[in-house]
Amino acid sequence: MNYLAIDASTEACSVALQVNDKVFSRYDLCPQSHSLQLLPMVDELLKEAGIKLSQCDGLIFGRGPGSFTGVRIGVGVAQGLAFAADLPVVGVSSLQAMAQLAYMQGKVNHSNGQVIATIDARMSEVYNGYFVLDNNNIMQAHLLADQQGEAVSAPEKVHKRIAGIVTTPVYGVGTGWDAYSEQLSSLKSNTGTPDILFPSAEAMLVIGIAELSQGKGVAAENAQPVYVRDTVSWKKLPGRD
């Protein structure tokens, strides 16, 4: 079985391709260049693996949250590729992908399989989610006090979100920790800047294959971004209505 994963939801741009049991990947930190990088990366991997896009069995994309522009680019490219090759698609959370990467890199295991993922959402807010390793070695979002798996919150309110669920510090991933270290640092067990700051297509590949194997793939036209923050409120300028 062959699967392609692409992600452009944050500053990182990445592509991963699994052909049978072998994984090929590309990863680059290229803010504002995702639209130029993504398709050439896909072409490189297909050539390296020696297959055509039509030989893939499914396509996985980073659905967000993250950069609004990056998420839209990723979804658009995923739809275009999936339409062309008639592939089912599945979206994977960028927060979940970072949590999955923590397991893949051996940062957490079944004895301490908990991760808080954060992404700096700007405007004094942070995208955040709490993830727990399941029996299939997939990090799954856990509903918190507000009955949401993922949310955008003021950093000082993240404590309230996880109250009663996380009683001791757990492993932290993402850019939100450095952006709001004063408010958030007591929640994570690892000190300093997290080793994992951005999601990767390789982690999305693992999650997405599990989803596709359960029949959760959809047609290309039904691929949807998940912004978490659906609206933006701007402060009114003095003298403006």
pLDDT value at residue 239: 46
Tell me the HSE value of 2 on the side-chain side, using a 13 A CA sphere: 15
- Tell the CATH topology of 2-93+199-222: Nucleotidyltransferase; domain 5 (3.30.420)
CA distance 101 to 199: 8
The beta-carbon contacts of 228-231 under 8 Å, at least 24 apart in sequence, are 228/64, 228/65, 228/121, 228/127, 228/150, 228/151, 228/152, 229/65, 229/121, 229/125, 229/127, 229/152
CB of 148 within 8 A of CB of 202? no
| Tens of pLDDT, residues 110-162 | 999 999 999 999 999 999 999 999 999 999 999 887 888 999 999 999 988 88
Sorted by where each begins, the domain ranges of the chain are 2-93+199-222, 95-187
Q: What is the architecture, at CATH level 2, of domain 95-187?
A: 2-Layer Sandwich (3.30)
Task: Please state the rounded mean pLDDT for residues 60-86.
Answer: 97
DSSP state for residue 239 in the 8-state scheme: T
Q: Please state the pTM of the whole predicted model.
A: 0.94
Rounded distance, CA 150 to CA 97, Å? 13
> Does 95-187 match 2-93+199-222 at the fold level?
yes
234 band by pLDDT with thresholds 50, 70 and 90: very low
